[in-house]
Amino acid sequence: MPYFDAASAAPLHPVARQALLAALDEGWADPARLYREGRRARLLLDAAREAAAEAVGCRPDELVFTSSGTTAVHAGIAGALSGRRRVGRHLAHSAVEHSSVLHSAAAHEAAGGSCTEVPVDRSGAVDPAAYAAALRADTALACLQSANHEVGTEQPVAEVAALCAEAGVPLLVDAAQSLGWGPVPAGWSLLTASAHKWGGPAGVGLLAVRKGTRFSPQGPAGERESGRAPGFENLPAIVAAAASLRAVRDGAAAEAVRLRALVDRIRSVVAERVPDVEVVGDPVRRLPHLVTFSCLYVDGETLLHELDRREFSVSSGSSCTSSTLTPSHVLKAMGVLSEGNVRVSLPPGTAGADVDRFLEMLPEVVAEVRERLGAPVSAPPSPGPAASLVVDALGRRCPIPVIELAKVIGEVAVGATVTVLADDEAARLDIPAWCEMRGQEYVGEEPADRGSAYVVRRLS
């Protein structure tokens, strides 16, 4: 069945599998030991470090292997913040970073540090000038992802790096989504990545810290990986990670061209054939393999389930697919629709025919889900007589509040308002997004006894 969620995890690359099997036999011993099994393990570890460093574009002694991309981010941020504690305790990061960055920032704030979240535009990108404005005299560290994991938008890393260098602030680049496709533009001070995103095994992350970057590892001391990653090295997985990074990179340029074309096809066909859809993220400055769109009046979980029944595996940033019932912070920061959200991320080797089948089937599935939810099918009728209306959607989950809004907008006169009472978190994002898509005016949010009152003025 077509698996279109490479941004979550990719099946193990054949080269990774081969390297893993070989290293299970040759590299199980402790590389810190003096006997031959240990020396053999040490050689494998050194070779893996050299290969990974070459792919990253750093010196081998600048790179350590961690137990995941998340732990690389946690260790990198904590170590860099502590290393520059004398400068100050301010951390800058974009609003659309991976949760591992946001959780590190929250922990930093809880410990008395301060953070600035740099906003993004509707495509998901930061503005370099806005990023530079967030840097302060007491900024210890700046974080910026190379490309976004939910919408694929590439960040202006080189520009931001130059501005950070000018301000004397080290930049940590989370390259989890892009490292398999190519090196990060120069200028970073710290870089993190995750092997299972490029077809390597789970259990391996990378943390590179440029020489000259002040860094003080946090947590209990460790003897391994320069004290930057505690615990016994997961050597077979490290060997497999390094081997597969090299292999993936060898074919990356050609595969990027091919997948980029497939994603372009998805972007245009979805926009054409699915009514009331918002295809999000930068159409050009983006990861080659990833596209995200949101469908009005659609419940993300049901959509995913229907796609899964038809053997397509995709993910979603809709609130109903999240354990916390909040929409994706990325879609929220972009100000785009979150209901009926679908992220398609194609693994290398994806067949064009599978993408075609997906595109053939999608409009029908979306229509089916909408029908089941009683979503409005046509544009609002000519203005009705009502001066203003209140819709009670309290206790109703996404996408119901928006559906209810759409149903009644035709009943009010142009210039009149519809007020939607809702306590579902997604409404806060999706009602303004609906207005944007529909050419109606979003007046604002007002406090209410329960939930919030979202006021919309009919313009046409």
* Positions marked catalytic: 320
Tokens 């967030």 -> residue: 134
- d(Cα 77, Cα 82) in Å, to the nearest integer? 8
Angle among Cα 343, 349, 355 to the nearest 5 degrees reads 50
110-149: contacts with a second copy (CB under 8 A): none
C-alpha distances out from residue 289 to 31, 194, 336, 449, Å: 37, 17, 21, 45
Position 71 contacts a second copy (CB under 8 A) = yes
- As measured in angstroms, the least distance from the Cβ of 74 to a second copy is 5
- d(Cα 435, Cα 134) in Å, to the nearest integer? 30
- d(Cα 308, Cα 1) in Å, to the nearest integer? 9
**What DSSP string runs through 302-358?**
HHHHHHHHTT-B-B--SGGGSTT----HHHHHHT---TTEEEEEPPTT--HHHHHHH
- As measured in angstroms, the least distance from the Cβ of 234 to a second copy is 4
Question: Which CB atom, from 146 or from 321, has the smaller least distance to a second copy?
Answer: 321
- d(Cα 32, Cα 54) in Å, to the nearest integer? 23
- As measured in angstroms, the least distance from the Cβ of 27 to a second copy is 9
Tokens 């535009």 -> residue: 121
- Considering only 82, 114, 226, 313, the residue that binds a second copy (CB under 8 A) is 313
- Considering only 308, 360, 371, 446, the residue that binds a second copy (CB under 8 A) is 308
Position 92 contacts a second copy (CB under 8 A) = no
Q: Are 336 and 280 in contact (CB under 8 A)?
A: yes
320-339: contacts with a second copy (CB under 8 A): 321, 323
- Considering only 94, 104, 178, 292, the residue that binds a second copy (CB under 8 A) is 104
- Considering only 58, 68, 289, 440, the residue that binds a second copy (CB under 8 A) is 68
C-alpha distances out from residue 336 to 96, 388, 451, Å: 13, 26, 21
3-62: contacts with a second copy (CB under 8 A): 3, 5, 8-12, 17, 20-21, 24, 28-30, 32-38
Using CB under 8 A as the binding criterion, the count of chain residues that bind a second copy stands at 65
- Considering only 205, 327, 348, 376, the residue that binds a second copy (CB under 8 A) is 205
What is the per-residue binding string for a second copy in 164-203, x denoting contact by CB under 8 A? ------------------------------x-x----xxx
Q: Are 209 and 79 in contact (CB under 8 A)?
A: yes
| Binding interface with a second copy (CB under 8 A) | 1, 3, 5, 8-12, 17, 20-21, 24, 28-30, 32-38, 67-71, 74, 78, 99-100, 103-104, 106-107, 194, 196, 201-203, 205, 219-223, 230-237, 301, 304-305, 307-308, 312-315, 321, 323
